[in-house]
Structure 1
């Protein structure tokens, strides 16, 4: 009995010692995670998993580590294991969906977003509902950007390429030739420094000798940069530190600040922190507009929309700066917006994981109206964007070439810089004139592709002119008509046109003809086509109605011209309903063409979404299902009877 008791006590001692050691390892892992040392934390959580200690928790934290290190390939592996755990926090369903998006698994990602929503998670319904259409459109849009290899990428991180009068600056974590190596706990890479490849340089190797001269580079992160037009002042990002000691805020976070440097005898000196920096939040990614009157930057300062937002400060003639101004909710979202850049035409480009994109960070452009007010944003599409992080977009003054960075597959390693060139937009510029050469106002133009499918409709302005963008290497037909004039049609090709050519100019001359007698009324009954909820296909009932119209157009009224207008009910977002109504109009148009109606007899097919309801439905007035059905309609309208 005594021997058995000794063995039992000894066994308990070993067990308690093992548990104590494992608890110590978990505490170490959590401390590393909470201090943003994700690389070392990940290795420590792996140790806990291999020892089968608190495995569910360690797996969740390991997945989080890979997410923070912007590695969705590994993150998705471990998030997949977390979402099947008992009582897993609901946010992990969202994290798994995001990681799947980061590896291009869009259908699976949408399924897990739906699971997250069903479990009570909050989600942007409009963004979620438009996702499938967005992905399809992005991958089927004609490519306008083309990539070129950059030879100075390494296995380390390179980004922030910035061309200043032929000198190419960029930021990198490469540390070749450095005797004492410092590494960031975030991803176990060396700290960032700023490099420059001088204009006309034949030096093929970019190493420590290529670092910019002066006091900009430090022992911590430095870059990216922007430089004034006169080349005398540089603004750059840097970790907040004092005497080589990284300073942290109350949450133990080492923030970024924006600094200013002056060029003195070919070296960057007199480093000064900008006044709007703070010890309590980050400011970084500086970018000057073309005339140097505004400095744009990224910040997570209080009062934003969430994550990091894009701000700007006005720069006065004496060099002093005003107060930071947030760019507002059209640009900024609840997630992260960063890396602003403003081109020569004052167009803002930025990266975001809050707007609808292909995966992690995507590059977007801000769209402005005639008053230079930002009204929307547009995704630059592939190949600029991928399912991974795409950021630090820059264009040269020619507007056709530039650089961006990405951690996509196929690169040299980590973040790589990619050069691009863009084909210029091509447009048709036309003058619509009469026999005397005078402009015809309000003439209707229809642009068709080589297969006769409707591309766009437009009208001539007060000078008889119109413009329309077209794709390169395509054939088109443009038809012009106006009441009391003959119809004119011309074939146009954009094939074999120089890449620098931006417009094709044509004149369309219409002749008058005697007015034909048009009866006051034609006994033509046009039935309304109604659609099922969230559908745009032509069902049997709709086909019967459309066949009646086709029969009338072919046999009874062979000269009438029609247009197609489609609508939705009031449910769902305006953007989604616009897309749905356009699809309804398009399916009606295709049906007519398939039944032998010449495309020239259909002036246009348009979708009005939910803007023109027969029955108004809102918060105070609910529609019945029958009224919703009446709103879901396509109307075929006779625009010309002869």
Structure 2
């Protein structure tokens, strides 16, 4: 942002005079402007130093940093490109250049400088994540789209962000500063200071924006808010100012704080109070109140954090507050974690430039396990995220609409607000149980076919006999189930049409055990394995295949099987799919050569690297023994008699 990462990670320095005495010289003047966060003015002076060839290398480093702080990767990359050629340069500039290139979607070029940073001894978890996940950008663009964006009609030509909707009103922060004859200018980006505005919403129509009533707006910045469910209490971000008095740290910096206000009967926000865990010495901001009002999430650069800015939570009991708790390594990184938003379902959304993303700040969501603990962090993908800053996520209680802010290309102003509609992924899920004892059937094979009868997925039931898979809406699917210990079951239809308001359809199965279940339990058909990049049958595989042939020809003359063949992760997906098919064919051909009737091998399919038995995916350093476990043909008995 040019901008709002500024709203937390940097603040204002007051009392500094932008005009400096001539005896300090241009460089000292430029440095003073830089140190007081007056980046736009500093850029002008540093450029003069470059033009005059006075300490030009230093000035270029400062120019690159200025543009980086202004969230302008195009100009930042231009100067970083020259900076990284300087002798004995700090390796951090390799990292900064790489991150700027990623913000310009130059991912391959960025990797070169990430490698240089690592070779120079730089340590940053972001670097290893990017290097390890080579397919991240491709994968993120292939994520099934759930969010559909459009610019909010009330954006201005300056910064607008932090939209929150409640009781028919949208409240947001903006630099538009209407209604004053003399605009107060923020030296960071030469824009008016941020204030909070209200707009009444009626469907897709919005009233004119008006400053919120009461004592919240001041002559400094006001930012992200969160309102209690009853609409009577507001937590909001503001520069350190209360009752007209500004506070500063020992270096003269005016940090951010969270304040609380109450709504009176006249619709004005009054009784502004500072929260007790604020500090003069660091910033606290971006509040988000949990649905029950008992926990407040926020961002801060307080000492003891993981990186530049971390996300914390604090308990609330009436007017009392607990001790802030850092949310830990799963969420917080060496970079910036900002703008937490906790939805009424308990999931936390937040912005980060430390987790693996597309460029600057991306928006992420937590996935909670059955105990309410964070089990996974996911990038929300495009179009929610872009190569620029994406932040201030808000979603209404129904989970279907909300707002984000972004300084992406094509906006009206600096930061713009975008409204979104969310169409959740639709799932087919169900449970497979034993028809006799009603217990769950684990490892039952589920095959999903599209409306044309083409298989699109196969999966296995878990310990509880359950399965789930995301599919498209407004169509129908055929669901098949099989298990070697149970009799075949007719397929069922999963209809996702007319599914508005729903997120899944349930397709359950009850299976009848086969008569020879005890005999079947005694059958032990091992997998066979292949050499790397080969599909020829090895000597050890022939032993197992001969066992299968004998079972089918002698012991169980009516047995029917399926063959599925797999590869390890090395090689491309397309190549491995073809290799898996060749292995399935060679396995099938060998059994036929031993006299097995082809009609009794109902399927022989290749699945490439899609069903790895371990974590040896692309980019993971695995032993040859571990890779070997994935190069296999697997046999499934589907009929005994």
TM-score normalised by the chain length of structure 1: 0.81
User: 1: distance between equivalents of 2:214 and 2:539?
Assistant: 75
Q: Aligned residue for 2:343? A: 343
Q: Are 2:499 and 1:498 equivalent residues in the alignment?
A: yes
Change (3 A) 1:227 1:580: farther
Q: Are 2:452 and 1:457 equivalent residues in the alignment?
A: no
Query: Matches of residues 396-407 of structure 1 in structure 2 within 5 Å?
Result: 396-407=396-407
5+ residue gaps, structure 1? 1-19, 532-538, 569-578, 612-624
Change (3 A) 1:131 1:162: same
Deviation, 1:393, is 0.4
Deviation, 1:128, is 2.7
Q: Are 2:614 and 1:609 equivalent residues in the alignment?
A: yes
Query: Matches of residues 249-288 of structure 1 in structure 2 within 5 Å?
Result: 249-264=249-264, 265-288=266-289
Q: Is the 8 A contact 1:445 1:478 kept in 2?
A: no
Deviation, 1:259, is 0.9
Query: Matches of residues 105-144 of structure 1 in structure 2 within 5 Å?
Result: 105-124=106-125, 126-144=128-146
Deviation, 1:309, is 0.9
User: 2: distance between equivalents of 1:590 and 1:475?
Assistant: 28
Deviation, 1:361, is 0.7
TM-score normalised by the chain length of structure 2: 0.81
Q: Are 2:624 and 1:629 equivalent residues in the alignment?
A: yes
What is the SS of the residue equivalent to 1:630? helix
What is the SS of the residue equivalent to 2:234? strand
Q: Is the 8 A contact 1:477 1:489 kept in 2?
A: no
Q: Is the 8 A contact 2:496 2:505 kept in 1?
A: no
Deviation, 1:87, is 2.7
Change (3 A) 1:224 1:304: same
CA-atom RMSD, angstroms? 3.8
5+ residue gaps, structure 2? 1-20, 553-558, 589-600
Q: Are 2:166 and 1:164 equivalent residues in the alignment?
A: yes
Change (3 A) 1:319 1:339: same
Change (3 A) 1:227 1:501: closer
The count of corresponding residues between Structure 1 and Structure 2 is 586
User: 1: distance between equivalents of 2:254 and 2:273?
Assistant: 18
User: 1: distance between equivalents of 2:152 and 2:205?
Assistant: 14
Change (3 A) 1:273 1:513: closer
Deviation, 1:632, is 2.4
1:294-322: CA deviation from partner (whole Å, max 9, x where unpaired): 11111111111111111111111x32211
Change (3 A) 1:565 1:261: same
Q: Aligned residue for 2:9? A: none
Q: Are 2:354 and 1:354 equivalent residues in the alignment?
A: yes
Q: Aligned residue for 1:638? A: 635
Q: Is the 8 A contact 1:581 1:608 kept in 2?
A: no
Change (3 A) 1:244 1:83: farther
Deviation, 1:552, is 7.9
User: 2: distance between equivalents of 1:497 and 1:520?
Assistant: 47
1:413-440: CA deviation from partner (whole Å, max 9, x where unpaired): 2111111111123222435467789676
1:270-300: CA deviation from partner (whole Å, max 9, x where unpaired): 2111111101010000110001111111111
Q: Is the 8 A contact 1:340 1:351 kept in 2?
A: yes
Q: Is the 8 A contact 2:584 2:606 kept in 1?
A: no
User: 1: distance between equivalents of 2:66 and 2:528?
Assistant: 60
User: 2: distance between equivalents of 1:400 and 1:195?
Assistant: 24
Change (3 A) 1:325 1:584: farther
1:144-171: CA deviation from partner (whole Å, max 9, x where unpaired): 1111231001111111110112211001
User: 2: distance between equivalents of 1:527 and 1:328?
Assistant: 44
